[in-house]
Amino acid sequence: MKIVVLGGGLSPERDVSKKSASLIANALLRKGHEVAVVDLYDGTDSDCDFRKGTDDLFEYAIPETEPDLDQIVADHGGREEWVGPGVIDICKSADVVFVGLHGSHGENGQVQALLDAYNIKYTGCNYLGCALAMDKDISKILVAGSGYKTAKWIKGNAEDLTVEGIEKEIGIPCVVKPIGCGSSCGVSVVKTKDELVKAIDYAAAYKQMVLVEQFITGREITIGILDGKALPIIEIVPHEGFYDYKNKYQAGLTDHICPAKINEADTKKAKELAEKFFEILRMDSYGRIDMIYDEEKSEFWFIEANNLPGMTNTSLVPDAAAAEGIRYDDLVERIALSARSGN
Ligand SMILES: Nc1ncnc2c1ncn2[C@@H]1O[C@H](COP(=O)(O)OP(=O)(O)O)[C@@H](O)[C@H]1O
Ligand SMILES: [Mg+2]
């Protein structure tokens, strides 16, 4: 097959996505496909011809800090249009587009709707599931409304959120986050009142509404879903602090335990819940659900859903798939083969 792997884009997770895209592309090359990697924002001005064979694999290293999007726009003459030149044409020329994006347009359904409009086949979740899952407020409304546990929360524009209001309604410790980012961009765990204002400013820098929720104590787990079915549970144990950007993407700072050491009954419960959340949020194909496990009460708290989870060879979904005997290259090809058009 001729496959375009879409990565990059104008998203805080741009760099993470470029890494995923290059590794996805290499897996597809090893499987004998013809592959081009295209940056959604940069477009095809730079070299993005189709490659074949394994002599010339793609490479990308994630910088330690989050990307400066304003600078990237400035470097492109201030262009605010987020679909770069030539992107639609090269996507149309392929059999399948593998959506290797993370965050913003790639994850909120806009790219999927755009590809639908051109009748282009793409991988992953449909546009509606993307939109619902990407909005942490809407996904919590749907999950809580269906009778499941999620931390109590409020949302608002940064300027409308006050320390007093948060203390009264949510309490401290709490977690402050942008309403629709990923990769822990803009997320802070707040333990003291003094940290709160800084945390709100940090989240607000992502130019979205801000969500403040109760901090849930427990073991952090995440469950990959493939074709609607839960993969083995992964427990996430950062060596220090919480699962922030650095702990997510710098090697060796976080342990992933898969399958998580959770008793059989709770494992079953967690997997069923993850599948349920996936369904409630109208997701399809593959994704990942983040939860906190209160072991004492055998309870699971919904944190958020990811419709374009990391797909590097050491990312969580590939890790979970491996625990079930699905090798990285096979997983990537399986997702590519299950691509469909939204029409
Ligand atoms: N309510 C919460 N209680 C405890 N920890 C949380 C809570 N919400 C988020 N976290 C921590 O912050 C991390 C990032 O939050 P999350 O909502 O998953 O954002 P992202 O979409 O950036 O992954 C989580 O992996 C978890 O470690
Ligand atoms: Mg998360």
Q: Are 238 and 187 in contact (CB under 8 A)?
A: no
CA of 233 to the centre of ligand 2 (A): 14
Q: What integer is the mean pLDDT of 185-211?
A: 92
How far apart, in whole angstroms, are the C-alpha atoms of residue 140 and residue 179?
A: 11
The residue from 214, 233, 252 where one domain ends is 214
With a cut of 90, say whether residue 216 has pLDDT above it: yes
Average pLDDT over residues 295-322: 94
Which of 243, 248, 308 to mutate for ligand 1's pocket (most ligand atoms within 8 Å of CB)?
243
Q: Which pLDDT does position 343 carry in this prediction? A: 55
Q: 207 pLDDT exceeds 80? A: yes
Cβ neighbours for 137, distance < 8 A, ≥ 6 positions apart:
153, 155, 179, 209, 211
Alpha-carbon distance of 83 to 104, in angstroms, equals 13
Give the pLDDT confidence of 52-101 residue by residue, as tens digits.
999 999 998 888 888 899 999 999 999 999 999 999 999 999 999 999 99
Distance between Cα 184 and ligand 1 center (Å): 7
Counting DSSP H helices and E strands in the chain, the numbers are 13, 13
Look over the chain and give the mean of its residue pLDDT values, rounded to a whole number: 94
Query: Are 140 and 243 within one domain?
Result: yes
Q: pLDDT grade, residue 45 (50/70/90)?
A: confident
**In this predicted structure, what is the pLDDT of residue 10?**
92
CATH of the domain at 224: 3.30.470.20
In the numeric block, the tokens 């990959």 are attached to: 224
pLDDT of residue 338: 92
102-158 pLDDT, tens digit per residue, is 988 999 999 999 999 999 999 999 999 999 999 999 999 999 999 999 999 999 999
How far apart CA 281 and CA 284 sit, in angstroms, is 9
24 plus 120 within the same structural domain: yes
Question: Does residue 100 line the site of ligand 1, with CB under 6 A?
Answer: no
Kindly state whether residues 86 and 14 are assigned to the same domain: yes
What is the arithmetic mean of pLDDT over 22-48? Answer: 93
**Rounded Cα distance, 146 and 149, in Å:** 9
Answer yes or no: is 177 within a domain: yes
Name the domain boundary from 196, 214, 232.
214
Mean pLDDT on 265-281: 98
Tell me the CB-side half-sphere exposure of residue 54, using CA atoms within 13 A.
9
Q: Is the CB of 102 under 6 A from ligand 1?
A: no
Burial class (CB in 10 A: 0-12, 13-18, 19+), 76: middle
Task: Show which of 214, 233, 248 is a domain's final residue.
Answer: 214
Residues 179, 142, single domain; the answer is no
**pLDDT at residue 250 in the model:** 80
181/235 same-domain check: no
276 with 292, same domain: the answer is yes
Supply the pLDDT for residue 258.
96
43 located within any domain: yes
* Mean pLDDT confidence for 294-299: 97
CATH number reported for the structural domain that contains residue 106 in this entry: 3.40.50.20
33 and 107 fall within a common domain: yes
Please check whether residue 188 lies inside any domain of the structure: yes
Q: Give 156-196 pLDDT, tens digit per residue.
A: 999 999 999 999 999 999 999 999 887 788 999 999 999 99
CATH code of the domain containing 168: 3.30.1490.20
Question: Residues 191, 97: one domain?
Answer: no
Does residue 342 belong to any structural domain of this protein?
Answer: no
The answer as to whether 282 is a domain residue is yes
Across the range 199-216, mean pLDDT stands at 93
Do 81 and 202 fall within a single domain? no
Claim to verify: residue 71 and residue 169 sit in the same structural domain: no
- pLDDT greater than 90 at residue 342: no
Q: Does ligand 1 lie within 6 Å of residue 182's CB atom?
A: yes
Q: Which domain holds residue 261?
A: 133-150+217-307
Output the pLDDT for position 132: 97
> Which comes out higher in pLDDT, residue 62 or 9?
9
Distance, CA 184 to ligand 2 centroid (Å)?
6
142 and 261, same domain (yes or no): yes
- Residue 3: which H helix or E strand, with range? strand 2-7
SS3 142: helix
Burial (Cβ within 10 Å: 0-12, 13-18, ≥19) of residue 311: buried
87 occurs within a structural domain: yes
Specify whether 231 is located in the same domain as 210: no
> How many domains does the chain contain in total?
3
Report the pLDDT value the prediction gives residue 181, as an integer from 0 to 100: 81
Please check whether residue 316 lies inside any domain of the structure: no
pLDDT score of 312 more than 90: no
Q: What is the pLDDT of residue 61?
A: 87
Quickly tell me which residue has 């709770």 as its tokens.
266
In a domain, 298, yes or no: yes
The predicted pLDDT at position 49 comes to: 87
Segments in the chain forming alpha helices (H)? 14-30, 69-75, 87-92, 104-107, 110-117, 127-134, 136-145, 163-169, 193-204, 245-249, 264-280, 316-323, 328-337
The whole-angstrom separation of Cα 61 and Cα 312 is 11
Query: Which residues lie closer than 8 Å to 55 by C-beta, 6 or more apart?
Result: none
Q: Please name the residue whose Cα sits nearest to atom 21 of ligand 1.
A: 182
